[in-house]
Amino acid sequence: MNQDMLSKLGQMQEKLAKAQQELEERVAKGTAGGGAVSIEITGGMKVQSLKIDPEVVDPGDVSMLEDLVTAAVNEALGQVQEFQMGQIGGLAGGLGLPGLGDLGLPGLGGPPAGAGAPGTPPALNRAARRQKR
């Protein structure tokens, strides 16, 4: 390998470490039930806090509380996923590799997931194609 390539690899490792640190420091917040349940999850996928309003704790209806917690967790995890895709997109863009944007992957310079060319219907998945037969 030549010196230029080694230098670029070293720079990429530094950028990757910095991006990982930044991601782990970010906090996603999810709520459900009008704020009755709230959760904070770091970009490193660690739950920082979970708060449940005592008003929604009904021993006779545990399933409602379970649904609220599930909804709050899913909302926060969706935000974490967005954080991660943003970091990946930023790193991949810095690679300078031709054609990455042509892959159609969200966060890598391609169109958002499910987006086709303007004015065209979204691509059908395998199950949808089977139903059309």
pTM, 2 dp: 0.60
pLDDT of residue 111: 47
Question: Would residue 73 count as lying in a domain?
Answer: yes
Q: Which residues of 47-65 are buried (b: 16+ CB within 10 A; e: fewer)?
A: eeeeebeeebeeeeeeeeb
Question: Would residue 50 count as lying in a domain?
Answer: yes
CATH of residue 20's domain is: 3.30.1310.10
pLDDT one-digit tens code per residue, 39-84: 999 998 999 999 999 999 999 999 999 999 999 999 999 999 998 8
Is the per-residue pLDDT at 12 higher than 90?
A: no
Rounded to an integer, the average pLDDT of 87-98 is 67
Q: Which two tokens stand for residue 95?
A: 């690679």
The closest of 21, 39, 10 to 87, measured between CA atoms, is 21
Question: Would residue 115 count as lying in a domain?
Answer: no
Q: Greatest CA span in the chain, whole angstroms?
A: 69
Beta bridge partners of 51: 38
Task: Write the burial class of residue 43 (CB in 10 Å: 0-12 exposed, 13-18 middle, 19+ buried).
Answer: buried
Question: Would residue 107 count as lying in a domain?
Answer: no
Cα 17 from Cα 24, distance rounded (Å): 11
Structural domain count, the chain: 1
